[in-house]
Structure 1
Amino acid sequence: MSKKNSTFGNIFLAIFGLPFLAAGLFVMFLGIKPAYQNHLAKDWLEVPAVLTELKLDGHGDSVKVVAEYTYEYQGKSYSSDKVAFNMTTGNVSKYHQELYATLNNANAGQVSCYINPDNPQEVILDRSLRLKMLLFMIPFGLVFALVGGGIICAAIFSGKKSKKEQLLAAQFPDEPWKKNKKWHSSIILADSSSGVWVLFCIAVFMNLFMMPFWAGILNSDKKVPWFAYGIIGLFQLIAFGLVGTFIYHFIRNKKYGKVNFHMETYPGVIGGACKGLIKIPMEVQAMDGFKITLKNIHQYTTGSGKNRSTHKDVLWEDSKIIKANNNTNSYFSTELPVEFEIPSGGRISQSDGDTKYWELKATADTPGVDFSEEFKIPVYVTEESEDRPVEVFEEKRLAESDYDLETNLKKNKIKMQSMTQGLLISIPAMRSLSAVFFSFIFLCGTGTGMAYAIKSNEYFVMFIVGIFFMVSLFIFYFSTFVRRELALKGEKLMIKQTHPLGTKLIECTRDEVKLDVACSMETNGKPSAWRLSVKAKGKKLTVVGNCKDQDLLKALKYKILKHNKAPENTEAL
């Protein structure tokens, strides 16, 4: 994007956020001003008054008390129609109905009013604080103000960040990583150290956002449908979940302190290495060791509007289980040695802002809150980069680990047979009995809910439950009836997927095919299942899905690609 387009975009963003900020501040002003006026009126004098007119104007939730009255002060007669400082209507409270009932029940129209002794014409009938309306208007206005202010600040800081990056890029033309302020030195701060308070702001915003909705349905005169409580309650659970997540990360930060990654190779080298030490200022007791994972990730968005979605593709990944080093300088601290060999070529990409980046993650099971930290680190092609093909690199790593492919295939109910000049790999239906069982139970539950919704004519509920029913039906069908086969003969490859509703087939050569191992499921933010998929001639099919063993899929991938091929030279590795 050019500098001119970037500036125009930031200006447009700031203008877009301005109405939200103005509307939010105005609503907050409407709530705070009468509260302040009530505070000033607490010392006003109470004098008798006579109602000359009283009525409820409007209809539904928009009714308003209209009153006229006369009063005397120091021998002079006055009249007024001022009822209260805050005359806002709505279903947040029944203030106007209750005040009308109180005034209407007055004996012969005899009521009390409150006058300013310094200005007797300044008078009010009711000076009570409308707490419900105040609790509604302040959070409601604050939400809009925060959204508008956030958009404007994002536009301002985005422009400043862009200018700083341009200056730094010109200052360090041969060191592109230094345009990122966080990468000015070889010491990289963990993401959680700076992200916990951002999470706090999001949690506060979400809970403030829910308050007006609760005020609306709890004070409504009409009967609120039960599913409205369910929908608002669901979002409230999400809001509470954000609070719980913040508390968890806050406790974790306090338990482990500020964690840093001191890079020995700065930056990490594609076709080279990533080395350094993760330094934890606290002693961490991890009996099973620490899992260190290095990933190259491509993050991108597809679609627009409601169909807009964000995707994260893992271009390359490696992990190790290590023990902590003894820190000679301080007993009450922990050091984790990091050393990864990084291949080159293939899908591997150097750091490119937020689109393509490298993530280093360290995790460990510990007493209480588990240890988990992530670092965005610079990894680039430099003068030290060598030609290390990713396929050969992965194949060598699996070979050195003595991975038993045939045994693990049997454990995962996958059959592999040697054929003349090739292989036949069969993935039967119902390979995962747990997926079949749980999807069937969920299908029965959602089906019962659908039947009840149809019988009760609850069309909105039928629509929501219907979505879950279709998802569970889809999972049950593919877990139960779909079987796959992959046949390799020489350089020809055939992948077939069959099920009662049809068959999909891909025929190609090994040079035309692209095999990809990617995460298919996460549990507690950690990858828990992977899939092996094939792309060729504009088609894509899953060969093996819902596999808990990532190395199995990688070993199978290279078995398919390298079977009966001459070995490549790997001395450089």
Structure 2
Amino acid sequence: MTKKRKQNWFMLLFALPFAGVGIGVLVFGVIPNLYEWQQMKRWPQVEARVLDAGLHTSRGDDSDTYRAYARYTYRYQMQDYTSERVAIMGGSDNIGDFQSDLARQLELAHRVEEPVPAWVNPNDPGDAVLNRELRWNMLGFKMIFVLVFGGVGIGLMIFTLKAKVGATDHPESSSKPWLAQQEWASPEVTCNSKVSLWVIWFFALIWNLISLPATLAVPDEWAGGNKLILIALIFPLAGIYLLYWAINSTLSWRRFGQLRLQLDPYPGSIGGQVGGTLTIPITYNPQQRFPVSLQCVRRYVTGSGKSRTSHESIVWQNNGLAQTKPAPGGGTSLGICFNVPANLPVSETYSDDYRFWRLELNADLPGVDLHRQFEIPVFATGEKSRAALPLSTSHPQLNDEREASIEAVANIQQIPGGVRMHYPMLHGAGNNLVGLVCGLFFGGAGVLMHFESDAPAVIVWAFTLIGGLITFICLKWLFTSLHVQLDHNGLISERYWLGMPIGRDQIPRADIQKLYIDVSSRGQSAKGYQEMCKIIALTNSGKKIPVAMNLKGRDTAQLALEAIGGLSGYGTTVRSF
């Protein structure tokens, strides 16, 4: 067994207890409570006489927990029964005032000898309950364990199973290290979409099974005056999105299948070129564009134990368009080729901090869009494409696409001696609108919990403050407009919110040191890894003033930088990231 296999087994064994805790709480703590809650809605109601009741307190080092208890008798179908079950969820806790309030009600009923309602299991009349409410705050507390422990454990297991296993002692692996990986033992590299598809379906089905009872409960709970039940809508809404994602991924798989990239050169080369060819099973259309992106990625882990978190950062990236032609056997043949600088890291073996190379292919197509990722071997061989593939960065349509991207977010006008730019409100609205919805939901949930529940104050404040902060930031960016003039006199930058001035900078030309590109946000999306860039004017005092924003990708930002610098005559720094 190779060292890599031993590491994978160790990671699986390490992740198993975390996954077990999460799944155990779900299977034995959450699902049974939801199932009984649904079943109890059909249980017949009877009158019960309380024989004894009170509140049991368990003292702990950090805090006390409470449990309402009672013993009561009731008659069902001409038979007398005695039970001690009080609520759906047994055990002691200190989540809210549920236990103390219930104990007080039962003690009062016992003292004044007043009957209380009880609900009886018709299939087992000896099983009854005095309170059949589902405690949503307690259920949410349990779900923290499910999501945190189960998410960490299952995530680590999936990540380990998807990681490369490693070939066993290839005779040439010392001189050709790419041969030490089974996936790289030949020039043909497959995408990872099939494994991802199964993972998406697994999470979609589990999530929707968990959220189904909450979905069914919304009409009855709302009719009963429980406004807090609206918070539970986040679960079915997330489930619908997961199902949409899974179905869309399945349709994409059925349409395109497992794509295979023939590397040319093999392996990809630091100081040379990276690329290859592949065939897409769709009818050739010379107007169809296939954006491609080559990335050198650093993946690293921070924290330890259950606090371990995986991160990705882009070391280097280049974007382009694949060259297309009809495939000999039908379909569309794509040619991909990038020049790669000589000072970049090679593909490294998996560890807590390593570099790897990823090629992404995207296309907006009628029906189902195409998105595939290939993890490819790239080493310092200095080789170039044997078939002399044309560069993807030199595609004739590429500049038109980048210029369209610039025009979509800014109104740029040439003026004597410089340039004037206007960025209207609602630029970059997509991400901000999603953030606004999330912020309103969290903030609204916090306010609703404050007025309609006995949720702990820390939870109420956390939801309210986080939601309010997200809402404030998204509203600020959604309705902020920017006016910039850059000419031989200097820079004038004016910011407005809903048409009202909120800031103005006027910098003489002599005080402007340079223009450069900065990345404002980055992350994965449905179309792969994306970066949003902005152009900054740096003054001699170190002040940074935005000149352009919401530019999709470094290449688009570089084109905008060159245009702005050329029209205004200001010095620029190329690709400062």
Aligning the two structures, in what range does the TM-score lie when normalised by the shorter sequence? 0.5 to 0.7
2:529 equivalent to 1:543? no
Q: CA deviation at 1:374?
A: 2.6
Query: Which residue of structure 2 aligns with residue 470 of structure 1?
Result: 472
Query: Which residue of structure 2 aligns with residue 201 of structure 1?
Result: 202
1:157-176 equivalence runs, <5 A: 164-165=165-166, 172-176=173-177
Query: Which residue of structure 2 aligns with residue 421 of structure 1?
Result: none
Give the Cα separation in 1 of the matches to 2:235 and 2:116: 32
Give the Cα separation in 1 of the matches to 2:302 and 2:542: 19
Give the Cα separation in 1 of the matches to 2:165 and 2:199: 22
Give the Cα separation in 1 of the matches to 2:259 and 2:414: 46
Query: Which residue of structure 1 aligns with residue 427 of structure 2?
Result: 435
Give the Cα separation in 2 of the matches to 1:234 and 1:54: 40
Relative to structure 1, the CA distance from residue 439 to residue 14 in structure 2 (aligned partners, 3 Å threshold; closer, same or farther) is closer
1:187-336 equivalence runs, <5 A: 187-211=188-212, 213=214, 226=227, 228-280=228-280, 282-284=281-283, 286=285, 288-298=287-297, 312-313=313-314, 315-328=316-329, 331=330, 334-336=331-333
**Quick one: which amino acid aligns to residue 271 of structure 2?**
G
Q: CA deviation at 1:325?
A: 2.6
SS in 2 for 1:327: coil
Query: Which residue of structure 1 aligns with residue 187 of structure 2?
Result: 186
Query: Which one is further off, 303-312 or 210-219?
Result: 303-312
Relative to structure 1, the CA distance from residue 253 to residue 476 in structure 2 (aligned partners, 3 Å threshold; closer, same or farther) is closer
**Quick one: which amino acid aligns to residue 414 of structure 1?**
I
Q: CA deviation at 1:190?
A: 1.8
Contact 1:522 1:528 in 2 (8 A): yes
**Quick one: which amino acid aligns to residue 423 of structure 2?**
R
Unaligned 5+ segments in structure 2 are: 37-45, 56-66, 91-114, 386-390, 452-459, 496-501, 572-577
Contact 1:439 1:476 in 2 (8 A): no
Q: CA deviation at 1:10?
A: 7.3
2:339 equivalent to 1:337? no
Give the Cα separation in 1 of the matches to 2:233 and 2:356: 37
Give the Cα separation in 2 of the matches to 1:152 and 1:497: 50
SS in 2 for 1:479: strand
Give the Cα separation in 1 of the matches to 2:29 and 2:308: 32
User: Which residue, out of 554, 559, 569, partners 1:555?
Assistant: 559
Query: What is the TM-score when the length of structure 2 is the normalising length?
Result: 0.59
Q: What root-mean-square deviation, in Å, do the aligned CA atoms of Structure 1 and Structure 2 show? A: 6.6
Query: Which residue of structure 2 aligns with residue 483 of structure 1?
Result: 484
1:14-69 Cα offsets, whole Å, 9 max, x none, are 555554455455448978999xxxxxxxxxxxxxxxx9x96486589978774499
Contact 1:486 1:543 in 2 (8 A): no
SS in 1 for 2:472: helix
**Quick one: which amino acid aligns to residue 235 of structure 1?**
F
1:357-412 Cα offsets, whole Å, 9 max, x none, are 433333444443233333222223224379xxxxxx99x95999888999999995
Query: Which one is further off, 185-194 or 430-439?
Result: 430-439
Give the Cα separation in 1 of the matches to 2:35 and 2:218: 26
Give the Cα separation in 2 of the matches to 1:442 and 1:160: 32
Give the Cα separation in 2 of the matches to 1:409 and 1:535: 18
Give the Cα separation in 1 of the matches to 2:493 and 2:396: 30
1:69-148 equivalence runs, <5 A: 89-90=87-88, 100=118, 125=125
Relative to structure 1, the CA distance from residue 434 to residue 278 in structure 2 (aligned partners, 3 Å threshold; closer, same or farther) is same
User: Which residue, out of 523, 530, 533, partners 1:531?
Assistant: 533
Relative to structure 1, the CA distance from residue 233 to residue 152 in structure 2 (aligned partners, 3 Å threshold; closer, same or farther) is closer
Give the Cα separation in 2 of the matches to 1:442 and 1:475: 12
1:179-199 Cα offsets, whole Å, 9 max, x none, are 544333322222222211100
**Quick one: which amino acid aligns to residue 533 of structure 2?**
R
Relative to structure 1, the CA distance from residue 11 to residue 477 in structure 2 (aligned partners, 3 Å threshold; closer, same or farther) is same
SS in 1 for 2:423: coil
Give the Cα separation in 2 of the matches to 1:360 and 1:385: 17
**Quick one: which amino acid aligns to residue 317 of structure 1?**
N
Contact 1:65 1:100 in 2 (8 A): no
1:65-120 Cα offsets, whole Å, 9 max, x none, are 7449999xxxxxxx996769xx683289xxxx9984679xxxxxxxxx99xxxxxx
Q: CA deviation at 1:248?
A: 1.1
Relative to structure 1, the CA distance from residue 467 to residue 564 in structure 2 (aligned partners, 3 Å threshold; closer, same or farther) is closer
Give the Cα separation in 2 of the matches to 1:517 and 1:263: 31
Give the Cα separation in 1 of the matches to 2:405 and 2:157: 55
Give the Cα separation in 1 of the matches to 2:378 and 2:141: 45
Give the Cα separation in 1 of the matches to 2:155 and 2:432: 47
Q: CA deviation at 1:270?
A: 2.5
Relative to structure 1, the CA distance from residue 385 to residue 301 in structure 2 (aligned partners, 3 Å threshold; closer, same or farther) is same
Give the Cα separation in 1 of the matches to 2:265 and 2:419: 44
Contact 2:271 2:341 in 1 (8 A): yes
Q: CA deviation at 1:340?
A: 1.0
Q: CA deviation at 1:142?
A: 11
Contact 1:140 1:208 in 2 (8 A): no
Relative to structure 1, the CA distance from residue 55 to residue 404 in structure 2 (aligned partners, 3 Å threshold; closer, same or farther) is closer
Relative to structure 1, the CA distance from residue 538 to residue 322 in structure 2 (aligned partners, 3 Å threshold; closer, same or farther) is same
Contact 1:189 1:261 in 2 (8 A): yes
Q: CA deviation at 1:246?
A: 0.2
Q: CA deviation at 1:272?
A: 1.9
Q: CA deviation at 1:479?
A: 1.8
Query: Which one is further off, 334-343 or 468-477?
Result: 468-477
2:371 equivalent to 1:372? yes
Contact 1:139 1:212 in 2 (8 A): no
Relative to structure 1, the CA distance from residue 56 to residue 276 in structure 2 (aligned partners, 3 Å threshold; closer, same or farther) is farther
Relative to structure 1, the CA distance from residue 265 to residue 475 in structure 2 (aligned partners, 3 Å threshold; closer, same or farther) is same
1:150-207 Cα offsets, whole Å, 9 max, x none, are 7556667878999955976998234344454433332222222221110011112322
Give the Cα separation in 1 of the matches to 2:430 and 2:25: 49
Give the Cα separation in 2 of the matches to 1:397 and 1:189: 26
Contact 2:520 2:532 in 1 (8 A): yes
SS in 1 for 2:193: helix
Relative to structure 1, the CA distance from residue 288 to residue 483 in structure 2 (aligned partners, 3 Å threshold; closer, same or farther) is same
**Quick one: which amino acid aligns to residue 239 of structure 2?**
A
**Count of matched residue pairs:** 482
**Quick one: which amino acid aligns to residue 432 of structure 1?**
P
Relative to structure 1, the CA distance from residue 230 to residue 355 in structure 2 (aligned partners, 3 Å threshold; closer, same or farther) is farther
Q: CA deviation at 1:259?
A: 1.7
2:412 equivalent to 1:414? yes
Contact 2:273 2:338 in 1 (8 A): yes
1:442-521 equivalence runs, <5 A: 466-467=468-469, 469-475=471-477, 478-480=480-482, 483=484, 485=486, 499=495, 500-501=502-503, 503=505, 515-516=517-518
SS in 2 for 1:414: strand
**Quick one: which amino acid aligns to residue 237 of structure 1?**
L
Unaligned 5+ segments in structure 1 are: 35-50, 72-78, 104-112, 115-123, 387-392, 419-423, 489-493, 566-573
SS in 2 for 1:374: strand
Relative to structure 1, the CA distance from residue 382 to residue 486 in structure 2 (aligned partners, 3 Å threshold; closer, same or farther) is farther
Q: CA deviation at 1:309?
A: 9.6
Q: CA deviation at 1:240?
A: 1.0
